[in-house]
Structure formats: structure tokens, C-alpha cells
A and B are shown apart, each in its own frame.
Chain A
């Protein structure tokens, strides 16, 4: 149960220190550390990353959502195809989804040219892949639960009863 609580807090802010988490919960600092170790060892927590607003950085990072349709045969299942695609460093997320297409793949690159090339040269030729539809991200409004707008300013009075 303590692991669940720690996980929730880290999902809120992965940079909370074990000390701060201990202050916020009934746990001792060493219990927090143990819970984090356990979560990492069990493969529940796979990493910690910054949530970036690329527009704010004015960087030329290009991202695309790619819909993939595949055709399975006796030897090849979804997992086999996914494993192969996930190895490409350009692929930042890959999920099997329900609906009109099979995989939802997120790709990142330095330019539209680079991403296009990756899809046409590395993804499309995979024999099981029958169709790709690429959507370039134009503007991102919310990432990982964090709104990327200017935010609502705290306009409360500094003192109120």
C-alpha cells in the first residue's frame, strides 16, 4: 500500500525527494527509499523524464503520431512486430490499440525530412505492415497531465479570512 502512495506522488512529481515524500506521508524516509527501490526492481517504474514543452524551447524537434495497420501470419504476432519497431530509437512510444488501426506509434526526429525518411525507409518496408498514416504534431496543449498553456495565475488576495 505504501508503494502505491509513493508511486502516486512520483507520478505527480518525480523529483520529490524521499525526505519530502516521508514528510507528506506516514512513512519514514528509509521506507520511502525501499518502496522506490522495490518499484524499480519490479519494473513498475521504468524511468524518470522531464515533461518538455518543445514550443517554449523553440527547438526544431519534430514529432509525429503514426497509425499502423499490420497483417499477422502463423509465425508473426503483434508482440513480434512491436518488439522489432520498439528497438528504433526514433520511436518514443508504441501501443497496440483498438479501433481502425492496430498500432499507435509516436516518433521523434530533428526535421520532417528525417521523420519521413524513417517511416518510409524503416517502418513501411516491414513485411507485416500494410499501411501507415502519419500525423505531424503541430502544437501540443497538454503532456503527461500537464497543461502547456500559460496557466491560471494565482490571483487570490494575499490575506483572506
Chain B
């Protein structure tokens, strides 16, 4: 270093040279959309991956109480014992998952931390991690940061975006070490029933796969009950289940999640956790404890409201004439864009023309092309207005407009357009 202080934009003698693992991860695909959204002040966002509800008041109140009592020190690495016990009781009651609070549960700073711990604990350099896609955008970078190789296992709309053994075989997942699942799914809203999980479990046993099952949206299952793959025969011993308080309990900003798994698996994850995080945020742990003890009714109310919005949004897309499969979980639906459009072009034009923000499906990996993630974690008034704007947009985009839309972003998608070339014949409406 010279004696001169660094000036912004000035010459520096030292360059930060990120590690290869960091450079290998491309910048976020939705960054650009943020900037477009900033240009308008009437944007209705259906691009949000978190609840529009605030954390139930009793849970917030418990957090405030804990602060007033000065409970601001670290907790046990794995989380407060009362909280782990409450989680154990909840997991048993709701999902038939039986885990020992002393050795088989770890509380983390969001389910995201727990997933990352699992990647770092169980992925060696070069290990292949199969990821059912489209999927939450953090899995791929997480595997890369851990030094593993990502294997995309695309799911298809024809299967309602459920994972099939055929898809696993086609992708070559038999040779993988780890399989990552997320059902109910972000971004598609797909769920998997017991009968559909059974062949996947059989595949995992046959090929000796470790299964990482992200069940953060488990409560948000709108028809029937959620089944965890860990409850299927022979699966508990090879599965780590992830859940948390962000979605069902509307606690995203409080950053609290957990992992359930066999004692040796949790011990390996805790080894990393104790040196990096020490313990999950204490205030959030008090909120979570109260949430499990007394907020069941609030959760049910929120789930009921999501369900109504889900049906509303699905009905509207059908009326508009866009293809959409009946998503039964999370708070997303995943319509297909009209012929001639890429997901990215549609999302960009829709945002520019009508001020409605949605996320193009490509962002979530293979299988998401030509789709949009539409979040209904937004009040019904805004949903109604947003869908009216989408209807106007679809009605107005005749063949000429469609061509312009496609041409303006040709080459920007990661997957080539196979449906039609820009300028080819298109069907404006179905």
C-alpha cells in the first residue's frame, strides 16, 4: 500500500481475486429486473418469494419480551433445548417425523444455512449432486461453493413438475452422491404425494444416494397432507429434512430454520455451524418457540388465504388463456408464456409495459424455460389488478408485438428457443 488513501475509483495496487469457486457462479439472473422495476412507481410485484403477512403478533411479542429480559446471549450451538423439543413435537404432529431433540435436530439461521451446512458437510470436491429443477436458486451455487458438481434433473410440465425416476435415469443421477429435492416446490408450486415419492425413494436406496429434502413449504400444501420422503421405508437413515419458520410462520427476516437427520449427520453439520454461526439468532429462537406453541391458528388462517389466492390466480390465468398447471403447494404458480415468447422477454415486456413484476422461469434452472414464476403472496386487491394488467398485455400482444418482444432479447436466454424463431408464425392467443 502507498501512503495515499484509496480514493473511490482511483488506482489501487491490490486486486481482490475471488476464488475460482466464487467466479464460477454467474451473477443473479434477476438483477436486471430490479433496475427496470425501479424506473416505475406503480409496479405490482408478483416476484416476491416471501409472505406478505407480518409474523404473528404473539410471536413478535415473545421476541420483544425476550429482549426486555435481556436474553441476548448465544444459545447452545444446536439451538435452545426447549425450541428443539418444540420442533420435535411439531414435526411428529404435523408430518410423522420422529427426531430426538438432543441429537437429531439443529437450529440454523434460516433453512438456507442448514442446506449450505449439508453441502459443506457431505459434498467432497468432484462429488455429483443431482438437483431436481426448476429449483430454488441457492442450491446450485451452494454445491459449487462446496466444490461439488451440479447435475440438473429437469422436471416437466407434463408431469406437473414432479420428479420421476425416468428423469433421474435420463439425467444420469444413478451415479450421483446426493439428490436435492424441494416439494412443495419453489418456483413451480408442484407437490409430490406419497405414491409419487415411493419410486424416488426406491431409486435413492438402489443407488445409495444421500437425500437432502427441503420441505420449507410443507405447511403450504393445499390439497391433502404433505408427505416427507424421510417417512418412507429405509429413507430416514439417508435423508436430511430441512424446514423453518420463514414461509408458514411469516418470519423470513428473523432468519430461523432447522434440519432433522440422523445423529451422525447432524453432528457433522453442527461441526461447521459451531465454528461459523455459533448459534442461530437468539431473539428469533424465542419468537419461533412461541410460534410453535401458540400460532397454529394464525398459520391455518394464512394457509387458507393463500389457497383462495391460488385458486383465484389459477382461474384468472385460465380465463386469460395462458397454460398453467394446477399448482397445489407453496405460494407460486408457474404459467407458460404464449407461443413465440421466451420467459425472459415476456417478463421484461410485461414489467415495462404494464408494471407487473414476475420472475422468468429460466432463472430456476433447466425445465423452467418459457415459464413464469408468479407469486401470490400478495393481497387479493393487488392480485386482481395485476392479473387484469396481464390480461391486457396478452390481449395486446399480437403477432407484431410478439416478434419485437422476442427479437429484443434473442440470445439472452441460456436455453435456445426451439418453439419458434423470432419472426416465425405465432399464435397470439389461445
Contact = CB atoms under 8 A, between A and B. Distances in A.
Contacts of A20: 312, 380, 384
A48 interface: no
A9 to B, nearest CB: 7
Interface string B43-68: 10101111010100000000000000
A151 to B, nearest CB: 11
Contacts of A22: 315
B72 interface: no
Nearest to A16: B380
Contact of B48 (A9, A23, A26, A156): A156
Nearest to A25: B311
Contacts of A73: none
B311 A24 contact: yes
Contacts of B341: none
A24 B314 CA distance: 9
Interface string A1-38: 00000000100010000001011111000000000000
Interface stretch (B13-21, B29-37, B153-161): B29-37
Nearest to B34: A159
B312 A161 contact: no
B137 interface: yes
A154 B34 CA distance: 16
Interface in A102-161: 152, 154, 156-161
Instruction: Specify which of A13, A20, A26, A158 lies most central, judged by the most chain B CB atoms within 10 Å of its CB.
Output: A158
B357 interface: yes
Interface residues of B, number: 26
Contacts of B30: 159, 161
B12 to A, nearest CB: 31
A156 B164 CA distance: 35
B interface majority secondary structure: mixed
Contacts of B359: 159
Nearest to B136: A161
Contacts of A24: 308-309, 311-312, 315, 380
B309 A159 contact: no
A129 to B, nearest CB: 39
Nearest to A24: B308
B205 interface: no
B302 to A, nearest CB: 13
A159 B315 contact: no
B355 to A, nearest CB: 11
Nearest to B51: A156
10 smallest CB-CB distances across A and B, nearest first, come from A23-B315, A24-B308, A158-B45, A159-B47, A160-B49, A23-B312, A24-B312, A158-B37, A161-B137, A159-B30
Interface of A: 9, 13, 20, 22-26, 152, 154, 156-161
30 contacts: A9-B308, A13-B380, A20-B380, A20-B384, A23-B312, A23-B316, A24-B311, A24-B312, A25-B311, A152-B54, A156-B45, A156-B52, A157-B34, A157-B48, A158-B37, A158-B45, A158-B47, A158-B48, A159-B30, A159-B33, A159-B37, A159-B45, A159-B47, A159-B357, A160-B47, A160-B48, A161-B30, A161-B49, A161-B136, A161-B138
Given A23-B311, A159-B30, 5 more contacts: A9-B308, A24-B308, A158-B43, A158-B48, A161-B136
